[in-house]
């Protein structure tokens, strides 16, 4: 068998795609930002050639599409050159969003698991609850997010929790669906074995259903953590744009700061990727401890 | 007819009908059977004859719809509650996230044995099935035959005098099967357990049993009960003896009589 080669197997395929994206991006930058330069020149009554336009499209103040190096410079500047307590620091905004994400994800996970346990063990809950769980996800989150913020604000709850609850609203769903399947995954023969031991329902749960459901739980957690972040960002949009990545996006669009929008977007993507990777590591570690075949 | 005190399993006119979408299926009808303490009873018959169903009735995994059955003098449910039998399934059914010793510990944990007692029992049963040294392995690291031996160890770990085995070696090849049959007989001799063993192999049934129950399908019923005349001590080459072949031919006749070939 061929030896695994990190460069050939991992870095090269990803690198090729990255390069392609960058090329397409730069081409798009030129085409999307060129009309502004032509307009400016026309208004000033001067002629402008394409070779003059080209460099200008790369360094506009408010480009239609900022160039990658502009976004990178903005991220670098707002991440490393600002104190992290400053409202101009991207790290500060990322932390605000991250804290809501993690709280919402935590509540969503616990809620999702509890609902799944109920659904698996109780026929009435299975019949009555599952349709509502599914229906909850058909409501557009953008419509319900402001309602949650407003209602909770009216009863004196504001700040972190309302945003976290929007994350919860999104993230409990994959957990419920995954865990219902996971807790029902033991084979009949494994359940029969427990029956012959006269095991209590609690013993069957902890010694069979729970360990059986672990692969399903982690698959769900990966989806849940990513949409928790989406939930937290959506939750920040109707809060009056004070802080957080969502606020950063909103402020950016109010003032036409496209560079700021794109850098917030990239920060959100990097955050999501990091969170998913962390869950992935936890998944590998747990399965290894459970002696799963490598 | 009265139940003798030595009878471990006693069925009287036992019947079980499954209600399916295609109408009722008579899995068992009119089964009368006594299994005495220390017996090795084999149930043999073609698929659909109810041999597994009968074992599952003993284990309280199925409820009979007519007749009566006692296990250790009580109902199957009470017997299950008293943990009076160990069940070995067709597949090893080991929990893949537990090591072999943890799998054997599973019933012990559930039944509340102390940690020290668990350790001693794991060691003893691993030795009984010749798996000493494999306790720390995970099931996937063992061969099929070893996995099935581990599942037998699991059924032997707690104090049940009755061992119910549902085609435990059905999925294994002939050589491994011979070996395990020999070991099982030794184990039966050493532990003095009562064993009910479901199989569809005539040589296996004759080689192992003190009593062979021949069953036939549609409806599932007992057609013959053969008391073996073979000695308790059985080397593998006893299978070439005339006595062995005679019992085997009687089993074969019983199977042929009960089985209609015109389907």
pLDDT in tens, A195-250: 999 999 999 999 999 999 999 999 999 999 999 999 999 888 876 557 889 888 88
Mutate to test the interface with B, among A185, A194, A198, A286 (most CBs of B within 10 A): A198
Chain B positions in Cβ-Cβ contact with residue A215 (cut-off 8 Å): none
**Residue B237 pLDDT level (bands cut at 50, 70, 90):** confident
Q: Indicate whether B140 and B196 sit together in one domain.
A: no
- Tell me which chain B residue has its CA closest to the CA of residue A194: B107
Q: Indicate whether B168 and B60 sit together in one domain.
A: yes
Token pair of A91, please? 């790290």
The reply to whether residue B97 touches residue A199, judged by beta carbons under 8 angstroms, is no
Cβ contact A117:A126 at 8 Å:
no
**Residue B263 pLDDT level (bands cut at 50, 70, 90):** very low
- Tell me which chain A residue has its CA closest to the CA of residue B82: A198
Asked if residue B145 belongs to a domain, the reply is yes
Which residues between 2 and 61 in chain B have a beta carbon less than 8 angstroms from any beta carbon of chain A? 59-61
| pLDDT tens profile A70-87 | 999 999 998 888 888 888
CB under 8 Å, gap of 24 or more: what pairs does A25-32 form?
A25/A65, A25/A67, A25/A68, A26/A67, A26/A68, A28/A65, A29/A57, A29/A58, A29/A63, A29/A65, A29/A66, A29/A67, A30/A54, A30/A57, A32/A63, A32/A64, A32/A65
Q: Indicate whether B137 and B24 sit together in one domain.
A: no
Domain boundaries, chain A: 6-64, 90-289
Asked if residue B2 belongs to a domain, the reply is no
Quote the domain boundaries for residue B74: 7-84+163-258
pLDDT value for B3:
45
| pLDDT tens profile B82-139 | 999 999 999 999 999 999 999 999 999 999 999 999 999 999 999 988 899 999 999 9
Q: Is the pLDDT of residue A283 over 80?
A: yes
pLDDT value for A278:
95
Q: Indicate whether B70 and B171 sit together in one domain.
A: yes
Q: Indicate whether B200 and B250 sit together in one domain.
A: yes
Q: Tokens 């400053």 sit at which residue?
A: A86
Q: Is some CB atom of chain A closer than 8 A to the CB atom of B102? A: no
Between B94 and A52, the higher pLDDT residue: B94
In chain B, the number of structural domains is 2
The reply to whether residue B107 touches residue A293, judged by beta carbons under 8 angstroms, is no
Strands B85-88 and B162-166: parallel
| pLDDT tens profile B103-119 | 999 999 999 999 999 99
Smallest CA–CA distance, residue B85 to chain A, in Å, is 8
The arithmetic mean of pLDDT across residues B169-193, rounded, is: 87
Provide the whole-model pTM.
0.85
- Beta-strand ranges (E) seen in B37-187 are 40-44, 66-71, 85-88, 162-166
Chain A positions in Cβ-Cβ contact with residue B109 (cut-off 8 Å): 207
The reply to whether residue A197 touches residue B99, judged by beta carbons under 8 angstroms, is no
The arithmetic mean of pLDDT across residues B1-7, rounded, is: 56
Mutate to test the interface with B, among A192, A218, A286, A291 (most CBs of B within 10 A): A291
Identify which of B87, B91, B106 has the shortest CB distance to residue A207.
B106
Cβ contact A227:A171 at 8 Å:
yes
Percent of chain A exceeding pLDDT 90 equals: 55
Q: Is the pLDDT of residue A48 over 90?
A: no
Asked if residue B21 belongs to a domain, the reply is yes
Instruction: Mark which of B130, B159, B188 sits at the end of a domain.
Output: B159
- Tell me which chain A residue has its CA closest to the CA of residue B163: A196
Instruction: Mark which of B142, B159, B176 sits at the end of a domain.
Output: B159
Smallest CA–CA distance, residue A116 to chain B, in Å, is 22
Q: Is some CB atom of chain B closer than 8 A to the CB atom of A286? A: no
Smallest CA–CA distance, residue A217 to chain B, in Å, is 15
| pLDDT tens profile B141-167 | 999 889 999 999 999 999 888 999 999
Q: Is the pLDDT of residue B219 over 60?
A: yes
Cβ contact A92:A78 at 8 Å:
no
| pLDDT tens profile B5-63 | 568 999 999 999 998 888 888 899 999 999 999 999 999 998 888 999 999 999 999 99
Q: Indicate whether B247 and B145 sit together in one domain.
A: no
A90-289 fold = MetI-like fold (1.10.3720)
Distance, in Å, from the CA atom of A224 to the CA atom of A282, rounded to the nearest integer, reads 14
Q: Is some CB atom of chain B closer than 8 A to the CB atom of A192? A: yes
Token pair of B179, please? 């070996």
Average pLDDT, chain A: 90
Smallest CA–CA distance, residue B9 to chain A, in Å, is 16
pLDDT value for B115:
95
Asked if residue B52 belongs to a domain, the reply is yes
SS3 assignment, position B98:
coil
- Name B177's Cβ contacts closer than 8 Å, sequence gap at least 6: B169, B204
Nearest to B177 by CA among B196, B185, B162: B185
Q: How big is the A-B interface in CB pairs under 8 Å?
A: 55
Instruction: Mark which of B133, B159, B185 sits at the end of a domain.
Output: B159
Nearest to A97 by CA among A164, A153, A169: A164
The arithmetic mean of pLDDT across residues B226-235, rounded, is: 89
SS3 assignment, position B50:
coil
Q: Tokens 């199925």 sit at which residue?
A: B62
Between A110 and A149, the higher pLDDT residue: A110
Token pair of A110, please? 């616990």
Q: Indicate whether B131 and B154 sit together in one domain.
A: yes
Smallest CA–CA distance, residue B162 to chain A, in Å, is 12
Strands B7-20 and B23-36: antiparallel
Token pair of B206, please? 């004759």
The arithmetic mean of pLDDT across residues B190-197, rounded, is: 91
Token pair of B250, please? 């009687």
Phi, psi of A7 (to 5 degrees): -65, -50
SS3 assignment, position B246:
helix
SS3 assignment, position B135:
coil
Asked if residue B176 belongs to a domain, the reply is yes
Q: Is the pLDDT of residue B80 over 70?
A: yes
CATH of the domain at B186: 3.40.50.300
pLDDT value for B262:
46
Distance, in Å, from the CA atom of B93 to the CA atom of B129, rounded to the nearest integer, reads 17
Chain A positions in Cβ-Cβ contact with residue B85 (cut-off 8 Å): 196
Chain B positions in Cβ-Cβ contact with residue A203 (cut-off 8 Å): 110
pLDDT value for A241:
53
Identify which of B60, B93, B140 has the shortest CB distance to residue A193.
B93
């Amino acid at each position: 068998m061929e030896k695994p080669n990190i460069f050939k197997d991992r870095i090269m395929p990803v690198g090729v795609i990255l390069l392609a994206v960058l090329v397409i991006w730069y081409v798009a930058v030129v085409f999307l930002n060129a009309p502004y330069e032509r307009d400016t020149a026309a208004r000033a009554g001067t002629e402008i050639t394409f070779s003059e336009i080209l460099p200008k499209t790369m360094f506009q103040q408010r480009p239609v599409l900022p160039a990658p190096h502009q976004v990178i410079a903005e991220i670098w500047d707002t991440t490393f050159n600002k104190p992290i307590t400053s409202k101009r620091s991207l790290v500060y905004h990322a932390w605000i969003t991250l804290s809501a994400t993690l709280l919402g994800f935590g509540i969503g996970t616990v809620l999702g698991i509890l609902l799944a346990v109920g659904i698996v063990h109780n026929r009435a809950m299975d019949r009555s609850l599952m349709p509502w769980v599914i229906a909850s996800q058909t409501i557009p989150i953008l419509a319900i997010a402001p309602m949650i913020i407003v209602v909770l604000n009216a009863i004196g709850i504001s700040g972190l929790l309302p945003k976290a609850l929007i994350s919860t609203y999104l993230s409990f769903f994959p957990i419920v669906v995954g865990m219902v399947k996971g807790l029902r995954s033991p084979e009949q023969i494994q359940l029969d074995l427990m029956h012959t031991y006269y095991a209590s329902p609690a013993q069957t749960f902890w010694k069979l259903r729970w360990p059986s459901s672990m692969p399903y739980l982690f698959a769900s957690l990966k989806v849940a953590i990513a949409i928790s972040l989406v939930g937290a960002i959506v939750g920040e949009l109707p809060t009056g744009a004070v802080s957080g990545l969502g606020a950063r996006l909103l402020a950016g669009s109010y003032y036409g700061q496209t560079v700021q929008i794109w850098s917030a977007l990239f920060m959100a993507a990097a955050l999501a990727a990091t969170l998913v990777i962390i869950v992935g590591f936890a998944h590998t570690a747990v399965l290894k401890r459970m002696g799963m075949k490598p | 007819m009265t139940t003798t005190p030595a009878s471990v399993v006693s069925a009287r006119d036992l019947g079980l009908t499954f209600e399916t979408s295609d109408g009722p299926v008579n899995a068992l009808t009119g089964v009368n059977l006594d299994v005495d303490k220390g017996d090795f009873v084999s149930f043999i018959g073609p698929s659909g004859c109810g041999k597994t169903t009968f074992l599952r009735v003993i284990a309280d995994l199925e409820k009979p719809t007519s007749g009566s059955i006692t296990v250790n003098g009580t109902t199957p449910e009470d017997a299950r509650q008293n943990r009076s039998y160990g069940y070995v399934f067709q597949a090893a059914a080991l929990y893949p996230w537990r090591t072999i010793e943890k799998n054997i510990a599973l019933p012990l944990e559930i039944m509340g044995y102390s940690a020290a007692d668990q350790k001693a029992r794991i060691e003893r049963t691993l030795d009984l099935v010749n798996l000493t040294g494999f306790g720390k392995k995970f099931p996937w690291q063992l061969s099929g035959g070893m996995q099935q031996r581990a599942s037998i160890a699991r059924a032997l770990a707690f104090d049940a005098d009755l061992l119910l085995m549902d085609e435990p070696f059905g999925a294994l090849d002939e050589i491994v099967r011979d070996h395990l049959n020999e070991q099982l007989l030794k184990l039966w001799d050493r532990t003095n357990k009562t064993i009910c063993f479901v199989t569809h192999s005539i040589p296996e049934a004759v080689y192992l049993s003190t009593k062979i129950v021949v069953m036939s399908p549609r409806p599932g019923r007992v057609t013959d009960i053969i008391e073996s005349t073979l000695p308790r001590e059985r080397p593998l080459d006893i299978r070439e003896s005339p006595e062995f072949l005679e019992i085997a031919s009687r089993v074969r006749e019983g199977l042929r009589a009960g089985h209609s070939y015109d389907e």
